[in-house]
Amino acid sequence: MNWKIILQLSIFGLIMAIGTVSLIPITIEPIFWLAIFVFSAYVIAKVCNEKYFLNGFCVCLVNCFWIISIHVLFAKAYTNNHLQVIGSMPGSLAIHPRLGMLATGPGFGVVSGLVLGSFSWIAAKFVKKAN
């Protein structure tokens, strides 16, 4: 595994975590994530020599850490700007948004990791390696 590239690519997750607190609306957030995933998959395919899926998966696990940390830290601002997200949480999790973020965040990290891991594995089939 290439921890250097995993940590470098996870900076996008930190930037998105900060941006989604109050700047990036949920309606266009998926467009940003798609661009980040395509770029990250390309970089992983170009730089890594093996374990493309696992490297992509781990990028999203680190992203998950950044996103949960920032959203929990700035929960008041996040919930004020993302009422529809909080409203979609089941029962008591909506009453306690920080707990809801802690409970649901890892699931999103795993699902996004499966997506980026797949993107990385597919990209590795098409991208020529850096010398």
Q: What tens digit of pLDDT does each residue of 42-87 get?
A: 999 999 999 999 999 999 999 999 999 999 999 888 887 776 766 6
In a domain, 131, yes or no: no
Whole-model pTM: value is 0.86
**Six-digit token pair at 27?**
């309606």
In a domain, 45, yes or no: yes
pLDDT recorded at residue 26: 85
**Six-digit token pair at 35?**
């661009």
* Number of structural domains the chain divides into: 1
Q: What is the dihedral of CA 56, 59, 60, 64, to 10 degrees?
A: 170
pLDDT recorded at residue 75: 86
In a domain, 68, yes or no: yes
Q: Which residue range forms the structural domain that includes residue 116? A: 3-126
Q: How many beta carbons lie within 10 A of that of residue 3, not counting itself?
A: 10
Q: How many beta carbons lie within 10 A of that of residue 100, not counting itself?
A: 23
**Six-digit token pair at 2?**
């290439």
Question: Would you place residue 94 in the very low, low, confident or very high pLDDT band (cuts 50, 70, 90)?
Answer: low
Q: Check pLDDT > 90 for residue 88.
A: no
Read off the pLDDT of residues 1-50 as tens digits, 9 standing for 90 and up. Answer: 999 999 999 999 999 999 999 899 888 999 999 999 999 999 999 999 99
In a domain, 94, yes or no: yes
pLDDT recorded at residue 40: 98
In a domain, 17, yes or no: yes
Q: Check pLDDT > 60 for residue 92.
A: no
